[in-house]
Amino acid sequence: MEEQAVHLIKAEGKERKTGYISIASGKGGVGKTLITVNAGKIISGQGKKVLIVDGDLGLSNVHIMLGITPAKNLYHFFMGEAAIEEIVTPIYDNLDFISSGSGIRELVNLPSLQLRNLILKLQEYAEKSYDWVIFDTPPGIHSDTLSIVSSSHIPVVITTPEPTAIADAYGLIKVLNHYEGVKSFYLLVNKTSNQKEGERVYESIRIVCERFTSAELKYLGSLRYDPRIIKNIINQNPFSEALTRELISALSLLPLNIRTPTPSFWERLLSRLRRS
């Protein structure tokens, strides 16, 4: 059975068409979940099938921001209490959502064969159904964050001009680079007063990355602070025209034309979960 599982992961001649994006931050409160939700809507609006997975385990809040209450989540799937189709919640056309609950953390305690089979089911469903899977990860250097970000094809780091957010964003990049071997990162600066402020934040992080790591930092731009967004979030409608315009510009700099990313996200995630 182990050989069959390996064969399914590396199915001969199978063209992988699903890409994986992780949205991460060094600290909380920088707008990571807001950006995840809006990025999912924008990419799905371009005709791509998108799945958002809330990887902020134990503190899942994508569903709160969207005003939805999933009956079941990844925990129920991992525990055999729900089929994969039962934990998927449609949000808009081409955009679905899975709440993690405490699911991924439970994986490391599962028997090896059971873990591999669950990962295979997730892989099969994702790569059969979606062009892109976007993970909203826990802030900081949590083990779940490191596993998901280091397995993703496109790691996006969110920061703000706040000094502690800048320091923590660099800390996250440094850990991922030194201990997980991640080389390329995309930086997006949120809550800026103007474009130049965002550029200064990027330069400050780029310089220390260049000096003390082998990480390559690519700048996606900045998103201006808009107090009206807070009101939208309170009303569980986390979208605005201004944010959409700026985020479309940022997303245009991502390599969203990936068609055959390798190695598999699921292979790397499985390896890292077992190592943690």
- If the chain, 276 residues long, is cut into consecutive pieces of 10 residues, what is the mean pLDDT of each piece? 40 63 94 93 95 72 78 84 93 91 61 78 92 92 88 96 98 97 97 97 98 98 88 73 93 82 76 72
Domain for residue 57, yes or no? yes
At 55 the three-state DSSP class reads: coil
Query: What's at 192, amino acid-wise?
Result: T
pLDDT at 76: 86
pLDDT at 74: 82
Structural domain containing residue 64:
16-275
| 267: CATH | 3.40.50.300
Domain for residue 10, yes or no? no
Domain for residue 1, yes or no? no
Give the contacts of 80 (CB within 8 A, at least 6 positions apart).
none
For residues 21 and 9, what is the distance between their CA atoms, to the nearest angstrom? 19
The DSSP annotation for 99-161 comes to E-TTHHHHHTTS-HHHHHHHHHHHHHHHHHH-SEEEEEPPSSS-HHHHHHHHH-SEEEEEE-S
Domain for residue 5, yes or no? no
Domain for residue 121, yes or no? yes
Domain for residue 50, yes or no? yes
Domain for residue 9, yes or no? no
Q: How many domains does the chain have?
A: 1
Domain for residue 8, yes or no? no
pLDDT at 239: 77
Contact 138, 144 (CB under 8 A): yes
Of the candidates 8, 6, 66, 7, the one whose C-alpha atom is nearest the C-alpha of residue 33 is: 66
Contact 187, 202 (CB under 8 A): yes
